[in-house]
Structure 1
Amino acid sequence: MAVEPAREELQRFVEEDPDGPVVMLNLLRFAERGQESYRRYSRAVAETFLPRYGGQVLYAGKGEAALVAEEGQSWDAVLLVRYPSRAAFLRMVSDPEYRQVAQWRTLALQEAVLQPTVPWGRSV
């Protein structure tokens, strides 16, 4: 299962609206004993990279049993993270220092969804 976006997907994502703000929906399913690795990653991101690139965690929570979902579609954690622009997000994930800590995220996750969102009524 994929946990990191492919280079082509990142390029398409930025080209759609490079300067527009974006809220990223993160759905996370942890690997066995992956929560500690994810905590290390999230601390580093919150303390260093979100401030550096203007990002802000809007919500972070533990997933509970889904009320409406197919079998196996519940998630361990959900995050909403706002970035001032898609270009800022790309700069963050391309930062060599970020790439060093991103390995903790990759090790922590069995599966993930990283979905950009924009407010209704705003077309991209």
Structure 2
Amino acid sequence: MVSFSAAAFADFLAEDDDSAVVMLNLLRFDPDGGRERHLEYLRMAEPILARFGAKILFRGDGLPVLTDGEVQAWDVVLLVQYPARAAFKEMVDDPDYQVAFQIGKSALADIVLQPLKQSARLM
């Protein structure tokens, strides 16, 4: 099931941070047409993302995992940049996005959303 952790989402939004945030999306598709529904979701979501100043930085298909141990392969990885945390919240609340989200949600067997902020540069 795809849903936000209410506590994690509240903590994410509580941070006073006006800098850009990149959302790492790790996606595993429903084997029954999930990839096709995800592409439909992207066609619907991209103009909505643009309206909120967000953009897809990277979309790539997962290849075989190269590490040992508990392995969890993903079908697709997305990196989406938002101008600020508030833009992400506004987009999630948008009625047009909610329609697209239902299609995107139906495409997935599993998802991880990991917000990222840029680290200080190494010298």
TM-score, normalising length from structure 2?
0.89
Q: Which residue of 2 aligns with 1:12?
A: 11
Q: Which residue of 2 aligns with 1:50?
A: 49
Q: Is the 8 A contact 1:60 1:80 kept in 2?
A: yes
Q: Distance in 1 between matches of 2:119 and 2:103?
A: 33
* Residue 98 of structure 2 is aligned to residue 91 of structure 1: no
Report which stretch shifted further, 108-117 or 6-15.
Answer: 6-15
| Amino acid in the other structure paired with 1:39 | L
RMSD, aligned α-carbons: 1.6
Report which stretch shifted further, 79-88 or 7-16.
Answer: 7-16
Q: Which residue of 1 aligns with 2:38?
A: 38
> How far apart are 1:50 and its partner, in Å?
1.1
* Residue 110 of structure 2 is aligned to residue 107 of structure 1: no
Q: Distance in 2 between matches of 1:44 and 1:108?
A: 14
Q: How many residues align?
A: 120
| Amino acid in the other structure paired with 2:109 | Q
TM-score, normalising length from structure 1?
0.88
Percentage identity across paired residues of the two chains: 43
Which structure 2 segments of 5+ residues have no match? Answer: none
Q: Secondary structure at the residue paired with 2:12?
A: helix
Which structure 1 segments of 5+ residues have no match? Answer: none
* Residue 81 of structure 2 is aligned to residue 82 of structure 1: yes
Q: Is the 8 A contact 2:65 2:71 kept in 1?
A: no
Q: Is the 8 A contact 1:13 1:86 kept in 2?
A: yes
Per-residue CA distance 1:76-110 (angstroms, 9 max, x = gap): 00011100000000000111111111001111000
Q: Which residue of 2 aligns with 1:60?
A: 59
> How far apart are 1:8 and its partner, in Å?
3.3
